Amino acid sequence: MKQALNALKKEAERTLKKITVQSELFELETALLGRKGKLTEILKGLKDTPKQSRKAMGVFANRIKEDVLRVFENKKQELDEKQWASLAQDEWNDLSEPALPVKARGHLHPRTIVGEELEAVFKSLGFMVLEGPELESDFYNFEALNFPSNHPARESMDTFFIKNQPGWLLRTHTSPLQVRAVQKYGAPIRAIVPGRVFRNEATDASHEHTFYQLEGIMIDKGISIANLIAVMKELLQGVFKRTVEVRLRPGHFPFVEPGFELDMKCLLCGGAGCSACKHKGWLEVLPCGMMHPRVLEFGGVDPREYSGFAFGLGWDRLVMMRYNIEDIRHLNSGDMKFLTQF
């Protein structure tokens, strides 16, 4: 048996010298060391070895196996190195070679296009761009925004609650970031938060269960409604690339006081009334207001020292207005006939 093992080792060493490609190496390895290979065959003889020398023979066989494995390993490395060296030699770049024609070019989603424009406007005004979690706690989504647990305003947001996880939900708006941002960065602060939000709604042309908002806050000493209007005008002019007129109507949200609905004069009819504005002359574009003192307090900011405004832009709605899209469901559809138009 010893002889057979030594012969195996010799054979391995001899054959390995001649091998020049990985596939041959692999074949030899299987033939010698594989499950049905020579070594296994030899080791079957172990049971016929006299009992007193069986253990020593086992140890010897193991040593031979390790030796053989080592020569295989060395050879593998040698072949690898050779292959890399030859690859490096073969490879060269012809910088004068004409590029292949581009057949289909990727493109941005309309929501991304509008989002990038919005970010550019706000960055130019010194706003940070923040993100927050889509799986949100009841505390940040409601409680810290001045919706106490039995407040009827909670009803206005059809919420997806998480099964068997009391206190957790899919955020119904990006407003939780009002408190999160202030807790993290303090005041003064200017920040926007673009993000995906969820509501348990029946879908139709203007409602989706999954849609996008862009939240914004600005807090400093002496911030007033005048600042709010100025920034909102800047936002809309940045997207529509025209001078826009805005107006405020009262609106109710527990986390702003006073709260508003901001309307924009219809760009198509200039306020005279047309089908785009449902003959009102004005389009409702975004809810906003002065941040409620309690919300500032939840964020750790003293409302006697600081004031701020917040707004919650319906990002998808703005995309629809900008591109004249009649159904919000197109935006999440992944339908190429729709998407390739942008």
The contact set with ligand PHE (CB under 6 A) reads 173, 175, 253, 256, 259, 287-289, 310-312
Q: Shortest gap between Cβ of 80 and ligand PHE (angstroms)?
A: 59
Q: 75 or 180: whose CB is closer to ligand PHE?
A: 180
- CA quadruple 145, 150, 153, 155: dihedral sign: positive
C-beta of 75 vs 171, nearer to ligand PHE: 171
Q: Least CB distance from residue 211 to ligand PHE, whole Å?
A: 10
DSSP assignment of 184-236:
HH-SSEEEEEEEEEE-----BTTB-SEEEEEEEEEEETT--HHHHHHHHHHHH
Please, which residue, 287 or 299, has the CB nearer to ligand PHE? Answer: 287
For the bound state, the minimum distance from the C-beta of residue 179 to ligand PHE, rounded and expressed in Å, comes to: 12
Return all residues near 16 (Cβ < 8 A) that are at least 6 apart. Answer: 25, 28, 71, 72, 75
Closest CB 184 distance from ligand PHE, rounded Å: 18
Nearer to ligand PHE, 245 or 284 (CB): 284
Alpha carbon 300 to chain centroid distance? 29
Nearer to ligand PHE, 72 or 309 (CB): 309
Tokens 């800047």 -> residue: 234
Question: Distance between CA atoms of 198 and 151, rounded to whole angstroms?
Answer: 20
SS3 label, residue 312: strand
In the complex, residue closest to ligand PHE by CB = 312
CB 227 to ligand PHE: min, Å = 14
Radius of gyration of the chain (CA): 35
